[in-house]
Structure 1
Amino acid sequence: MSARDIAPKRALGLGLKHLAYLVIAFIFVLPLWWAVVSSLRPNSAVFADIFPFTPQALLPSPLTFEAYTGVFERGFGQIIANTMLVALVTMVAGLLVNGAAGFAFAMFEFKGKKVILSAVIISFMLPFEAIALPLYTVTQQLGWLDNIAALIVPSVANGLAVFLFYQFFSQVPKDYAEAARLDGVSWLNILMRIYVPLSLPTCISAALLLFIFQWEAFLWPLLAMPSQQFKVIQVGMAAFQQQYQTIWNQLFAVSVITALIPIALLMPLQRYYVQGLAGAGIKG
């Protein structure tokens, strides 16, 4: 078979592959797209073109932003601000704590290291429901219920983030640290000046994980804030849905906002995120 005959077949195969990618992408994007369209319609028109289905259901017609103005008038902007505060503080504190822990596991030998490291690895495999009651009891004894500290402190230490840092730091040649120690550099400076600049993808991966864990948290904020005077976004969305369940376009608006904020954060950083996760898995 000549090269002239092979070229059209390759082009056809490539075209079919890209067509399959488009179909798969459309299937995954369609629910979010329909939510966006529904949030931009009047409440009376949300289900107008669904039964029976017409292509008009995928277009925001008539276009209106009344759903978004409505949810912010009901205080959803404050709920977003509360969640951003909790997530960002957890992210910054988590990078410090988990990065230091991963560095210690990678650099130092101490009694019980393997047991403790195994416990850390197992911790992020446990469902949160398994530790919710003991965590609630401890939080209650500390007097932190209905306090923002109850949302932040238990989420700072994260077994998956520790593992990511440990895996990365284990791959960095220890010659760097040994040479620095010979020059009298402290361990803290070694971590901050040598290892942290090298671990940018891992830092971004861990930061995004911590942020998304807090952004998606529902059960623990519901337990830790019984009075619900300080609502975060998942709890606020659930309460909004119960209170205004007939205002469908506003419910879709809340869902869109809740989904798009982490997407907007993840998209520009996805390259570093993937590098961090892939790099952490090189050495077992």
Structure 2
Amino acid sequence: MSIIAILVIFPVYWMIMSSFRTHEEIFRYSKLGWHLFFPVHWTINNYRDIFMDASKPFGRYMANTLFVAVIVTAAGLLVNSLAAFAFAKLRFPFKKILLVIFLSSLVIPYEVIMIPQYLLISEMHWMNSYKALIVPQIVWVFGIFMLIQFFADIPRDILDAARMDGAAWTRIYYKIVLPTAVPALITLGLMTFLNQWDSFLWPLVIINEEKKQVIQVAISSFQSLRNISWGKVLAATTISSVPILGVFLLLQKYYVQGITMSGVKG
């Protein structure tokens, strides 16, 4: 496991160290030696360049991505948990059939629905707006499925007792279900935030205005230039990795606990 961990961590380490190298030095040392692990000439010019470039406001890209990711995560936790609670504990006509139809969308590749989704956004005149980045991403079928597995383990007798005491379903959801589902909600929130932070294809298609673009598309734009500045690419990638690594390290015990308790393995 230690060897596997080293193999996984080394590319990340090399990315961070190479972000402090000059452009000429990044690919100069390919043989095993200390030059491969540490820069010969340390520099912070790569980081300064990506933040000082007025034509590509990297700080604005990060703010846009953080804004979209936080809104989608918060709204997604509310909507997806309500849907999962309804499917797991409420009784209504055709529930099983609706659940099967709903979950069947998991097997449909995103590229298949992207064009109809694009046309729908265009008809709603949401092109090149934050609404186009946020609204289509709120409902996540996998997230609903994961929460259904967790909510199914909550004893029905507790909910029936609350109903007999006069509690409405909304109060049961807020007072009983949500407090017991904290690990699962944190897990879903972390996965949702990660997906939105790494989102590339949909923002690339739907956003044309430079100031509204997100970070992954911005990093890709550094690579599309005729003269690729690998130092800037590695510096931007390093900065974009910091929030995800920080959030995961902070919430990793809840993530593992939520995956285990929800019954979703792997």
CA pair 172-245 structure 1, distance change in 2 beyond 3 A: farther
Any conservation in 1 of the 2:75–2:138 contact (CA below 8 Å)? yes
Q: Deviations over 1:190-220 (max 9, x none)?
A: 1111110100111011101211111111111
Instruction: Identify the range of structure 1 (188-197 vs 257-266) with the bigger mean alpha-carbon deviation.
Output: 257-266
The answer for the alignment partner of 2:45 in structure 1 is 66
> How far 1:122 moved relative to its partner?
2.6
The answer for the alignment partner of 1:48 in structure 2 is 28
Please say if 1:172 is aligned against 2:154: yes
Q: What's the secondary structure of 1:151's corresponding residue?
A: helix
Alignment equivalent of 1:203, drawn from 166, 185, 195: 185
| One-letter amino acid of the counterpart of residue 47, structure 1 | F
Alignment equivalent of 2:62, drawn from 41, 57, 80: 80
Alignment equivalent of 1:114, drawn from 74, 96, 99: 96
The answer for the alignment partner of 2:199 in structure 1 is 217
CA pair 245-162 structure 1, distance change in 2 beyond 3 A: farther
Structure with the greater alpha carbon radius of gyration: 1
* Cα distance in 1 for residues equivalent to 2:264 and 2:241: 31
| One-letter amino acid of the counterpart of residue 33, structure 2 | T
* Cα distance in 1 for residues equivalent to 2:243 and 2:162: 41
Any conservation in 2 of the 1:102–1:162 contact (CA below 8 Å)? yes
* Cα distance in 2 for residues equivalent to 1:167 and 1:54: 50
* Cα distance in 2 for residues equivalent to 1:282 and 1:61: 46
Structure 2, unaligned runs of 5 or more = none
Instruction: Identify the range of structure 1 (90-99 vs 220-229) with the bigger mean alpha-carbon deviation.
Output: 220-229
The answer for the alignment partner of 1:30 in structure 2 is 10
> How far 1:228 moved relative to its partner?
4.1
* Cα distance in 1 for residues equivalent to 2:144 and 2:226: 41
* Cα distance in 2 for residues equivalent to 1:117 and 1:228: 40
Structure 1, unaligned runs of 5 or more = 1-20
* Cα distance in 2 for residues equivalent to 1:101 and 1:31: 40
TM-score of the aligned structures, taking structure 1 as reference length: 0.87
Question: Equivalent pairs: percent with the same residue?
Answer: 34
Any conservation in 2 of the 1:245–1:251 contact (CA below 8 Å)? no
Please say if 1:39 is aligned against 2:19: yes
Q: Deviations over 1:150-174 (max 9, x none)?
A: 0000000000111111111111011
* Cα distance in 2 for residues equivalent to 1:115 and 1:278: 27
* Cα distance in 2 for residues equivalent to 1:228 and 1:126: 31
Alignment equivalent of 1:265, drawn from 234, 247, 260: 247
> How far 1:25 moved relative to its partner?
1.4
* Cα distance in 2 for residues equivalent to 1:281 and 1:86: 29
Please say if 1:134 is aligned against 2:116: yes
Q: What's the secondary structure of 1:63's corresponding residue?
A: coil
> How far 1:127 moved relative to its partner?
2.0
Number of corresponding residues: 262
Alignment equivalent of 1:95, drawn from 77, 86, 107: 77
> How far 1:244 moved relative to its partner?
7.2
Any conservation in 2 of the 1:124–1:158 contact (CA below 8 Å)? no
Q: Deviations over 1:248-269 (max 9, x none)?
A: 2111111112233212211221
Q: Deviations over 1:223-250 (max 9, x none)?
A: 1113444111111111122237432211
Any conservation in 1 of the 2:222–2:232 contact (CA below 8 Å)? no
